Each structure stands twice: as structure tokens, then as C-alpha cells.
Amino acid sequence: MSAPFMRTCLLTFAAAIATVATTVAYAQQAATPASTLPNGAASVSETYGDWTVDCRLVDRRKQCLLSQVQGNKETGRRVYAIELTPPAGGKTEGTILMPFGLNLDAGAVLKLDDKDLGKGLRFSTCVPQGCLLPVSFPAAATDAMRKGTKLVVASLNLSSNEPVTFSVSLNGFAAALARVTELAK
């Protein structure tokens, strides 16, 4: 056999393998059901009291969260935000965005209707929008939050050491948590 003939055979064989591999990959992808949202929507955004539920399809997977944002009415800028993912493994995890100017070493304290919910929470980093505080609520805490009226997040001002607090309304939290859990399935 000549070298050009073998090269042609090898290229034809390689093309055939590539075609089969593509066909198999497509068949596997087609066999895996795509995540769906109600009415075939690509995204869902709903409001429950003071909470927003947001679910989107990204690369055929659902990404869902519930959130609450507070802003400065004069500037229109976001000052505080909390985002939580649907409960998984007995926990509801998320992130709180706090403003700059806080004593990051002091961390933050959470209170649910004036009862301590979490102490010594540590900031993870700061981004251009503010500083991030990771949170993880066990099922008992989210159950209490469903029945509560407000969650207070407090930290210390870096220059004055005075408390900086944000009061998070829990109006609609129970319904929003139930809905985000349902949509994430």
C-alpha cells in the first residue's frame, strides 16, 4: 500500500469515528432530559412579599435563588442584598452583600426577631459592589425564619466602631422559600 492511500484511509477512518462520536454524544444529550421551568420558560422571576424568586436555565440546568435587595433611595444604588439558594442537605446557603466601611475583622451578627441566630460570621472578600458574607442556615433556622418577622444583620463601622445594622423583612419569606424549592426540582 502506498503512503498516500494509507493516509486517505486513516483520514476517512478518523472522520467516521468523529461522526459516530458526535452521534453518540447527541443521543446521550437527547436521552438526558433538559431541566424545564413552568410553561417552557427560560427564566422565572416572581415576588413574594419583600422577597424575589429567580430561576433561570443555564446550560440546560436550573439556577434558582431567592433574594431581597435594599437600596439608597437618593442614589438608587444597592446598599444591601441577601441571596439564598434552595435548601439542600438540610441547609439553606447563600451570601449577604454589605457596604464598604465595615470592620471586616469583627465579622457580623444575625438576629431573628431579637434572638441570636449567628455570631462571628466572617466576611469572605470584597467586590466592587461591597463586601460578601457567606451564610449557611440549618433547617431549624429556616423554619424559624418562616415564622419570623425580621432578620437583623449587624456589623461594626470601621472608623467609629458603631453598629451598622440592616433589618431584613421576612414578609413573604416562607412562600418564596417554598416556591424556589419547588422550581429547583
Rounded CA separation 61/105 (Å): 37
Judged against a pLDDT cut of 90, whether residue 15 lies above it is answered with: no
**What is the Cα 165 distance to its own chain's centre?**
23
Phi, psi of 24 (to 5 degrees): -65, -45
| 160 has a pLDDT exceeding 80 | yes
CATH class of 38-184: mainly beta
Give domain limits for the chain.
Answer: 1-32, 38-184
- Per-residue pLDDT tens digits for 74-122: 888 888 999 999 999 999 999 999 999 999 999 999 999 989 887 779 9
Question: Alpha-carbon distance 96 to 127, whole Å?
Answer: 12
d(CA 70, CA 61): 29
Mean pLDDT of 155-179: 96
Q: Is the confidence at residue 19, as pLDDT, over 60?
A: no
pLDDT at 183: 94
Do the Cβ atoms of 3 and 10 come closer than 8 Å? no
What pLDDT is stored for residue 64 in this prediction? Answer: 95
Residue linked to cell 461591597: 130
